[in-house]
Structure 1
Amino acid sequence: MKYAIVILCIVISTCIHAQVEHNFEMEPSNTNCHELPEKFNSPSQAIDAVEKSTFRFTQSIKISRYHSPKAAFYYSCDGKTGYMIVTLKDDSRDIYKNIPQEVWDQFSNTNDPIGYYASNIEKKYESIQ
């Protein structure tokens, strides 16, 4: 009886783990972010397309009312890289592609997001033009 319970637990945990990996490798359910094009005609077209899509992971932060960036938004389809949209102090917006999740996490958790953005994102990643 003990062996049957142990075997049953192993089988159930293996099935649950296999299902999670299977769903992650496949296109996430209820998302359409995998349908976004590789290139956009303009930053505004890219921002519009990203904001209208559904993603596996989205997060936003408000930073400042008077400095750039004022706010930032992160959208990731695969949980590894994603799009980052920043609202600048003149209310214009920039969009960056292929921002690693780790960079977003560091940016959103730093005590100086304005400085982090200037030195680690704005200067290292090219915005969509």
Structure 2
Amino acid sequence: MASARAPVPPNIFARDLRKPSIDCTSAAEDGSPVKPVEGPEAPSTAKTSAVEPKVMEIKAEPPEADQGTDWRVPFLDYLIRGELPTDRTKARWLARQAKTYILYDRELYRQSPLGVLQ
């Protein structure tokens, strides 16, 4: 109700809490541990190690596309050359799914119903 700023329905009682609804001292007497909070962004007391972080090697060029495992190949074949798989079920599925893709500057993009390229 508060986030929507909607009116409060009848027979529902709402109130703003100005202080904590529980008593921290009674929780400590029950035996449950209570840590004092120094603020919303209290500094961490965990010690950091002096170990040098490891850096992963990143290849600048994308890997070569494998014709057998690249999912884009059938879509590109259909959109560029109009070729469909020989299996009728796969051909119907591909033709239906290809309607959501578009080629733009030799790149394959998925087009949302509003026309946004993703």
TM norm structure 1 = 0.22
The structure with the larger Rg is 2
Structure with the higher strand share, 1 or 2: 1
Name which structure has the greater RCO, CA cutoff 8 Å, separation 6+: 1
Structure with the higher helix share, 1 or 2: 1
